[in-house]
Chains A and B, each alone.
Chain A
Amino acid sequence: MKRKSRGAFLFLTPSVLLLLIFFIVPIILTICFAFTNMALTGSAAQNLQFIGFQNFTNMFQDPDFRISVLRTMVFLIFSAVIGQVVLGFILALLMKEKNVTFRRIIGIIVIAGWVTPEIVVAFCMVAFFSDNGSLNQIIGWFGISPISWLFSFPMVSVIIANIWHGTAFSMMVYQSALDEIPKDIEEAATIDGASNFKILRYITIPMVKGSIVTNMMLVTLQTLGVFTLIYTMTGGGPGTATQTLPVFMYNQAFVNYQFGYGTAISLVLLLIGIVASLFYMKSMKVKV
């Protein structure tokens, strides 16, 4: 039984106020400030002006911006889609119907990387990829001379770090999705002589398709906002080699103090997030 009540909406007041002040207002400010020359230093600091689409014109002509969009795409595709989503699925699939203790141990190890705070992940990974780090020790056993991973392959390093940190989430989502597939369907297919690959292709994947799509959107959104991991591992460098959009935004706003420009970049980031978020909601088929 659902009732109507005039007073009940009062319970929403604290949440609505907080969301209004700290969520809606900043989004509106983003839209306003993006069209100004706001800066903390220089002549623009005293003389705040509406400059129309100037920031955006500058942005699209800025080679640094274009390449950071490209880097963000590379980071998203390799660390979110291919890394976390695919590796998470493979892990969940391989762990299915394995020895319980073995399953649990592998699960704990993978989840440990997820529970570890981003900043500690960054520290572990800097050590792991450093010149005298574990990775070079290991390749040394095979007679390969050490590689300066963070200098020669900085993008690869941050992508691997993000995969290490994030895969557990996808793995857990897929594990619970795979557990819900009734056993007899796959058994029936086996008896009918279907190969493992065919079962995977025509039965398992279609049955968890919903989880895959929703998870992919969620992971993409999370990865889009990744700042801490990249900033603390490489600072966006060497040079600008790992400067993705959030790091580029940070550098423009908080290092160069070009707030107007920085906000314009945030707006682009926000718009990408809004589009991805709408896709995410569509993929969930929510009922409210």
Chain B
Amino acid sequence: MVKHRLQRNIQYGILVVLGLCFLLPLFWILLASFDTNAQQGIRLPNFTLDNFSAVLGDSGNLRSFGVGIILSGGQATLVVIASVLAAYPLSRYEMRFKKSFLLSILFMTALPITAVMVPVFQMFLFFKLQNSIFATMLFLTSSSLPYGIWMMKSFMDSVPIDLEEAAWIDGASVWGGLRRIVAPLMLPGIATIAIFTFSGSWGNFFVPYILLQTPEKLPASVTIYQFFGSHGMVEYGRLAAFSLLYTMPSVVLYIFSQRYMSKGFSMGGATKG
């Protein structure tokens, strides 16, 4: 038993060390954001909120947050609408090409989007869509649609069909059944997909960096890069405050999503078949 306890303590020890390694970079950003003279190293700040008020007082920064919200919010809404519609026949009807369609969808979820950015840029250039927030939103929507459809289908499979049939007998149309019976029962699933899509898009740097040009149209993810990419003398305190504000939505949404995903993590719903 002594050996066993020793083993346990070693395991706790390793976990503490690993935990500290993971904590350190975060701890720095937290301290630096409250320090107007922040440096690259860790140090205790003269606690001040000046960095935050400077970041929030800049209209350019606020606009970049606004653009981010429009881009990610629009994308999340479109993904939810398109994937609910697509999941319905995939979950409820026999169709000839269903199997191959679902396999293609799954296949697309795994493809690295990075690989198609060059031709997508070409396409945007050709149709004069570059620098259009709406077109960028549509591209982002399609890029997360395979994942959205796949998840939505497995969520919808778990809504019993009997309820819908009862509604039909009472005279509801297919559309009415989807809207009044299925969609409300799927709210947790819909919320999960919306949150995942929003967060993914909120953190996406590459797509808006390639497809958008004018500073007024850039979301926070790109603005933050220009902050530490081109400012020669980096103001670490402000940048840390910006980073923290920019990270907040992702954190808050993650916490919300946990409430909906009580059954832990299941490989994008894929394991549910």
Interface presence of A191 (CB below 8 A): no
Chain A binding surface SS class: helix
Interface presence of A288 (CB below 8 A): yes
Interface presence of B243 (CB below 8 A): yes
Interface presence of A117 (CB below 8 A): yes
Check A128–B205 contact: CB distance below 8 A: no
Check B93–A113 contact: CB distance below 8 A: no
Interface 9-residue window, one of B44-52, B53-61, B110-118, B183-191 = B110-118
B8 to A, closest residue via Cβ = A98
CB < 8 Å neighbour of A18 from B19, B95, B138, B221: B138
Check B29–A266 contact: CB distance below 8 A: no
Check A164–B25 contact: CB distance below 8 A: yes
Check A228–B206 contact: CB distance below 8 A: yes
B208 → chain A closest CB, angstroms: 11
Enumerate chain A residues within 8 angstroms of B103, measured Cβ to Cβ: 281, 286, 288
Enumerate chain A residues within 8 angstroms of B139, measured Cβ to Cβ: 22
Please report the C-alpha to C-alpha distance between residue A172 and residue B267 in the assembled complex, in whole angstroms.
10
Name the interface residues of B70-92: CB closer than 8 Å to any CB of A.
Answer: 81-83, 85-86, 88-90, 92
Interface presence of A131 (CB below 8 A): yes
B241-273 vs A, Cβ < 8 Å mask (1 yes, 0 no): 001001100110010000000001111001101
Enumerate chain B residues within 8 angstroms of A19, measured Cβ to Cβ: 108, 142, 145-146
Name the interface residues of A12-53: CB closer than 8 Å to any CB of B.
Answer: 12-16, 18-19, 21-23, 25-27, 29-30, 33, 38
Enumerate chain B residues within 8 angstroms of A131, measured Cβ to Cβ: 40
Interface presence of A105 (CB below 8 A): yes
Interface presence of A95 (CB below 8 A): yes
Check A246–B114 contact: CB distance below 8 A: yes
Check B110–A176 contact: CB distance below 8 A: no
Check B112–A278 contact: CB distance below 8 A: no
CB < 8 Å neighbour of B113 from A5, A106, A134, A225: A225
A270 → chain B closest CB, angstroms: 4
Please report the C-alpha to C-alpha distance between residue A182 and residue B120 in the assembled complex, in whole angstroms.
48
Enumerate chain A residues within 8 angstroms of B120, measured Cβ to Cβ: 22, 26
Check A132–B93 contact: CB distance below 8 A: no
Please report the C-alpha to C-alpha distance between residue A217 and residue B267 in the assembled complex, in whole angstroms.
12
Check B19–A115 contact: CB distance below 8 A: no
Interface presence of A130 (CB below 8 A): yes
Check B247–A117 contact: CB distance below 8 A: yes
CB < 8 Å neighbour of B107 from A124, A172, A266, A281: A281
Check B12–A22 contact: CB distance below 8 A: no
Check A26–B119 contact: CB distance below 8 A: yes
Chain B binding surface SS class: helix
Please report the C-alpha to C-alpha distance between residue A191 and residue B14 in the assembled complex, in whole angstroms.
26
Please report the C-alpha to C-alpha distance between residue A276 and residue B25 in the assembled complex, in whole angstroms.
32
Check B25–A176 contact: CB distance below 8 A: no
- Size range of the interface on B? 35 or more
Check A105–B93 contact: CB distance below 8 A: no
Check A225–B115 contact: CB distance below 8 A: yes
A146 → chain B closest CB, angstroms: 10
Interface presence of A142 (CB below 8 A): no
A260 to B, closest residue via Cβ = B118
Given contacts A19-B145, A172-B264, A218-B267, contact A134 B247 (CB under 8 A): no
Check B142–A23 contact: CB distance below 8 A: yes
Enumerate chain A residues within 8 angstroms of B229, measured Cβ to Cβ: 232
CB < 8 Å neighbour of A98 from B7, B11, B98: B11
Check A124–B264 contact: CB distance below 8 A: no
Please report the C-alpha to C-alpha distance between residue A144 and residue B128 in the assembled complex, in whole angstroms.
55
Enumerate chain A residues within 8 angstroms of B141, measured Cβ to Cβ: 18, 22
Given contacts A19-B142, A254-B210, contact A196 B7 (CB under 8 A): yes
Check B15–A117 contact: CB distance below 8 A: no
Given contacts A120-B224, A133-B40, contact A3 B138 (CB under 8 A): no
Please report the C-alpha to C-alpha distance between residue A102 and residue B122 in the assembled complex, in whole angstroms.
51
A83 → chain B closest CB, angstroms: 12
Enumerate chain A residues within 8 angstroms of B145, measured Cβ to Cβ: 15, 18-19, 23
Interface residue ranges, B against A (CB under 8 Å): 7, 11-12, 14-15, 18-19, 22-26, 28-29, 32, 39-42, 81-83, 85-86, 88-90, 92-95, 98-99, 101-103, 106-108, 110-123, 138-139, 141-143, 145-146, 149, 161, 165, 174, 199, 202-203, 205-206, 210, 221, 224-225, 228-229, 236, 239, 243, 246-247, 250-251, 254, 264-267, 270-271, 273
A to B CB contacts below 8 Å, 16 in the list: A3-B92, A7-B174, A8-B93, A18-B141, A18-B142, A30-B116, A109-B26, A134-B42, A175-B265, A211-B267, A254-B121, A266-B116, A266-B119, A270-B116, A274-B111, A281-B106
Interface residue ranges, A against B (CB under 8 Å): 1-5, 7-9, 11-16, 18-19, 21-23, 25-27, 29-30, 33, 38, 87, 91, 94-95, 98, 102, 105-106, 109-113, 115-121, 123-128, 130-134, 136-137, 164, 172-173, 175-176, 179, 196, 211, 214-215, 217-218, 221-222, 224-228, 232, 246, 249-250, 253-254, 259, 262-263, 266-267, 269-270, 273-274, 276-278, 280-281, 284, 286-288
Supplied contacts A110-B22, A111-B254, 9 more A-B pairs, CB within 8 Å: A12-B90, A13-B85, A18-B141, A23-B116, A109-B22, A196-B7, A263-B119, A266-B119, A288-B103
